[in-house]
Amino acid sequence: MEYRELTIPGAWEITPRQFGDDRGVFLEWFKGSEFEAAVGHRLDLAQANCSVSAAGVLRGIHFTDTPPGQAKYVTCVKGAFLDVIVDVRVGSPTFGQWDSVMIDDVDRRAVYLPAGLGHAILSLEDASTVMYLCSLEYTPELDHDVHPFDPELAIDWPAVGRDGSPLNFQLSGKDSAAPTLTQAAEAGVLPVYASS
């Protein structure tokens, strides 16, 4: 596997080695020892999720109270997503900045984001399927959101899907009603950056 740290410190893009022949393809999409050697700590698994989305479905920006926080290790097993990581940690040198990785069923990359970062995914094709490992079980009272179209963040969301068709963005009611980054900061719900 090849690990590349993103512009948001602590977040990583992971590109697996794929072994293919006329029968298909094999790859390791997560390996604990390699992960720990590259990132510097273990990923303790508490829950694994699978989500299927139509083209244009935008989920996020989501984050959890930190502590305890929820780290995620995300990959796409079918279709394609733009995976966006947002630094919502008050006091971080990269606060309010974002980075993105295309995760799809071709390169089969994964994205790791530690607790305290915001996360969003945009489906670029119908029936796109994402799977992610989580360090914390789903706990609704710890969940928070920032609006994915917050002009302060200025995320460059693609207007077309993987096949070039225009995307019609679809957000959940919760994500549509999410506060801006400034409003979330004023409400005191954002994680605080802890340099280590």
Instruction: Name the residues annotated as catalytic.
Output: 62, 132
Rounded Cα distance between 191 and 69, Å, is 9
Contacts of 17 (CB under 8 A, 6+ apart): 1, 27, 28
Predicted local distance difference test score (pLDDT) of residue 194: 85
Could you name the CATH architecture of 2-154+166-195? Sandwich (2.60)
Indicate left, alpha or beta for 51 from its phi (over 0: left) and psi (-120 to 50: alpha): beta
Structure tokens belonging to residue 89: 């940690």
Q: Where are the domains of the chain?
A: 2-154+166-195
For residue 149, the model assigns a pLDDT of 98
Q: Could you report the average pLDDT of every consecutive run of 10 residues in the chain (196 residues)?
A: 97 97 97 97 97 98 96 98 98 98 98 98 98 97 98 98 98 98 98 81
Tokens of 40: 């510097």
Q: Around Cβ 51, how many Cβ atoms within 10 Å? A: 15
pTM of the model: 0.96
Residue 195: predicted pLDDT: 66
Farthest-apart Cα atoms in the chain, separation: 56
Tell me: the pLDDT tens digits for 88-100? 999 999 999 999 9
d(CA 134, CA 187): 26
Distance CA 150, CA 116 (A): 19
The first and second tokens of residue 103, run together, are 């995760």
CB atoms within 10 A of CB 120: 24
